[in-house]
Amino acid sequence: MTRQAGKKRALLSVFDKTGVVDLGRELCTLGYTLLSTGGTAAALKDAGVPVVEIARYTGQPEILEGRVKTLHPKVHGGILADLAKESHRADLTRSGIEPFALVIVNLYPFREVAARPGARLEEVIEMIDVGGPAMVRAAAKNHRHVGVVVDPGDYEAVLRELREGGALRDETRFALAVKAFAHTASYDAAIRDELNARLAGTTANVSGALPAPAARPVLPGRLTIEARLVQELRYGENPHQGGALYADTSDISGTVAAARQLQGKDLSFNNIVDLDAAWRAVNEFDRPAAVIVKHNNPCGVGVGASLKDAFIKARQGDPTSAFGGIVAFNRTLDPPAASEAVSIFLECLIAPGYEAAARDVLAEKKNLRVMEAGPARDLFRGLDVRRVTGGYLVQDWDTAVVDMTKARVVTKRRPATEELRALDFAWRVAKHVKSNAIVLALTDRTIGIGAGQMSRVDSVRLAIMKSLVPVKGAVMASDAFFPFRDGIDEAARAGVAAVAQPGGSLKDSEVIAAADERGMAMVFTDVRHFRH
């Protein structure tokens, strides 16, 4: 343990005042003199905690409506002084500056204000903290002599160490400094991301609300991925790999990363991958829906009048693959659906919420991992980022929506109303299936899914082979165009009545002719849904 800087003086300037009064009171008991800024000083004074206002110490009142409070040599000199250097100590004496041993600072709530619906740019700009990060960085830089605390959750541990040893240990101050730099880096990244979003495709007016976004986002010149550790996993995709789950530092409510585990064994890396795939897919639907996923692919999807009905349809789509699957529901789970779900072996289950009686049913399966996500919200926030050797691939999310009633009919026969409903259902599922993706469906369920084949015709054959009911009268959705007519010929022989595909092949005319020869209806969506 090394000596902390100079006299026992602590600087407190916090927006989040959680625990600051108790902290200040205890620091006074430990012999610290407290210096503070306006709002923090007022909170301490109101609680009867002795405090010196920064303006009184510096002789410089706050100016510019509080924009300049602590940007003063008597503040930053007291934070940055290396007390091991005689020249620094002499500078402090000559300038009448006293050193700080502790700097307790947290920043303006930029993220929270920026996330408010309709937040104006001028409001967001005012939440860009300047003095706070400057003090945090200064204290973190000088961690050999100064302890910097940016998280109210650390107050008790800091106080405990001060009580027991009279000062913070070297390793504690270093750890706090690392956390402080991570805090300011995250804060700056949030500012950059928000302003970049507002820049996208337009010039923002500082007195106006956020302009309508452009068709494609302006991707950042530099990419900073900011995340916090949520949980360490037993291993990664395989037992010889390490693994952990990290979460965005923004509001992530309604997502898999924020979901609460209610029961069951620890989640694995692969569980989380599959939970995310199922959660994204099930929230494509407005009606009560169930999605069963295996190896990051839907193997059965159903919608119905109830969650139980939806699950039965999803399971019937591929009962063999459903065994040991991951299931997602898009409504609060009720007892009938819970009872139906646990009638087969499942690894994980995720839903927005659970009725108490449904929890009782699920509790009978002690190993079943049950996740509560809350209402789904903004599942495609931010950017889609993938690691490649030496870099990253970045894109905006595939959120394209197709109105099937307005899709281009390219065959002689137009799809009937029921066929359009079925095509809409199949198309929503195909978006979530690994390419080459083929989905055979009725209006309310999948009956065969061909995923991940290297040729599209093989995906068609696989989907037909997987179907346990007659394909005659069903529809087919393809995530990308048919390069040849063979896929249509295979589907027609099985009895497929209508097809949805993006179109765009050099052989579109031959593909359309194949459909016309068999009396099939075909629509072009003009949207591709590759998923690699």
Which of 199, 106, 198 lies closest to 154 in space, CA to CA? 106
Q: How high is the pLDDT of residue 306?
A: 98
Q: What is the pTM of this model?
A: 0.76
Catalytically active residues are 141, 295
**What sign does the CA torsion over 248, 254, 256, 257 have?**
positive
Q: How far is CA 216 from CA 222, 396, 403, in A?
A: 17, 8, 20
Q: What is the DSSP string of 68-104?
A: BSS-SHHHHHHHH--TT-HHHHHHHHHHT----SEEE
Residues in the chain: 532
**253-372 and 405-524, same CATH topology:** yes
At 251, the amino acid letter reads D
Tokens of 501: 């595909």
SS3 at position 373: coil
At 272, the amino acid letter reads I
The structural architecture, per CATH, of the domain 405-524 is 3-Layer(aba) Sandwich (3.40)
Q: How high is the pLDDT of residue 443?
A: 97
| Residues facing 303 on adjacent strands | 289
In what order do the strands lie in the sheet containing 498-501? Answer: 408-409, 521-524, 498-501, 475-478, 438-441, 446-450
In Å, the largest CA–CA distance within the chain is: 96
Burial (CB count within 10 angstroms: exposed 0-12, middle 13-18, buried 19+), residue 354: buried
Q: How high is the pLDDT of residue 259?
A: 96
The angle, 0 to 180 degrees and rounded to 10, between the axes of the packed helices 456-466 and 486-494 is: 10
Burial (CB count within 10 angstroms: exposed 0-12, middle 13-18, buried 19+), residue 28: middle
Asked if 449 and 321 count as a contact pair (C-beta separation under 8 A), the reply is no
Which of 433, 429, 431, 412 lies closest to 498 in space, CA to CA? 412
Which of 148, 186, 229, 200 lies closest to 383 in space, CA to CA? 200
List alpha helices for 263-372, DSSP H: 269-282, 307-317, 319-322, 335-341, 356-363
Q: How high is the pLDDT of residue 116?
A: 80
- What fold characterizes domain 253-372? Cytidine Deaminase; domain 2 (3.40.140)
Per CATH, the homologous superfamily of domain 9-195 is: Methylglyoxal synthase-like domain (3.40.50.1380)
Which of 451, 371, 437, 415 lies closest to 523 in space, CA to CA? 415
- Taking the CB of residue 221, how many other CB atoms lie within 10 A of it? 7
Tens of pLDDT along the chain (532 residues) come to 344 444 698 999 888 888 889 989 989 988 898 988 878 888 998 889 888 888 777 766 776 666 666 677 778 778 888 777 788 888 788 878 888 899 999 888 888 888 788 888 888 888 888 888 988 999 999 898 899 999 998 898 999 989 888 888 889 999 999 999 888 888 888 888 777 777 764 433 333 333 444 455 567 777 778 788 999 999 999 999 999 999 987 778 999 999 999 999 999 999 999 999 999 999 999 999 999 999 999 999 999 999 999 999 999 999 999 999 999 999 999 999 999 999 999 999 999 999 999 999 999 999 999 999 999 987 887 789 999 999 999 998 999 999 999 999 999 999 999 999 999 999 999 999 999 999 999 999 999 999 999 999 999 999 999 999 999 999 999 999 999 999 999 999 999 999 999 999 999 999 999 999 999 999 999 999 999 9
Q: How high is the pLDDT of residue 205?
A: 35
Q: H-helix or E-strand containing 141?
A: helix 131-141
Domain ranges of the chain: 9-195, 253-372, 405-524
DSSP state of 354: B
